[in-house]
Amino acid sequence: MGLIVARACALLCLLALAACVGSPEVVGSAGVQPGSPDRPETQPFDPPARGPARGSFSAPSPHGTATEGSGPGGSAPGPAARPYEGLGTWIDIYDTEFWEHPVHTVRSMSAHDIRTIYLQSSNYDRNRPFVHPDGVEAIVDAAHRRGIDVVAWYLPGFRDLPLDLHRAVRTIRFETRQGNRFDSFALDI
């Protein structure tokens, strides 16, 4: 158990480092062939050109009301909690019917007052950062058209930390052709 906790901490540190200072090409060795889309050989990780997909950060003030662009006690903005509020639902990589009909899925979720979709991008056992790339794009675009937040999540294996980091960063930096991005990211540890 201690080894798993140590690996989880190491991965979180790598994610934090990559988020703060950017990262050169990140590669690993978990059975992925050189030149595959999951292992870019010459494509560095550049920061995304734009900020969050929609809106600006609102944090609660000490008096319980939201204030634009401020964090607790007037400090710099902290992590946005908005995507984690209200009714949510999960879509994992095995939900075949959802992936086959992504727009219908989001329409149904909206009709049931879903506020957040928690969407699995991939896991350590898959050979790419997005198992259903077209479905991910369709769900993110359809959800944002309906005012639904989308939180991406990835399940790391902790056997190849550079691979886990690479996939997490690719997910965080994902952007649809319409310019939509995930509202948040969660590492499933």
The answer on 174 and 140 residing in a single domain is yes
The answer on 140 and 61 residing in a single domain is no
Domain span at residue 72 reads: 55-79
3-state secondary structure at position 187:
strand
What's the pLDDT score for residue 158? 94
The answer on 97 and 8 residing in a single domain is yes
The answer on 141 and 109 residing in a single domain is yes
What's the pLDDT score for residue 164? 95
Residue 71 dihedral angles phi and psi, to the nearest 5°: -105, -170
What's the pLDDT score for residue 7? 64
The answer on 138 and 62 residing in a single domain is no
Specify the pTM. Answer: 0.64
What's the pLDDT score for residue 79? 52
Domains in the chain, number: 2
Q: What is the mean pLDDT of each run of 10 residues along the chain (189 residues)?
A: 62 51 35 46 43 40 41 48 91 96 97 97 94 98 97 96 95 98 94
Burial (Cβ within 10 Å: 0-12, 13-18, ≥19) of residue 63:
exposed
What's the pLDDT score for residue 71? 44
What's the pLDDT score for residue 16? 53
What's the pLDDT score for residue 92? 97
Cβ neighbours around 156 below 10 Å, total: 22
The answer on 178 and 106 residing in a single domain is yes
| CB of 61 closer than 8 Å to CB of 70 | yes
Nearest-angstrom CA–CA distance, 184 and 153: 9
Q: Give the bridge partners for 150, in sequence order.
A: 117
What's the pLDDT score for residue 66? 41
The answer on 144 and 107 residing in a single domain is yes
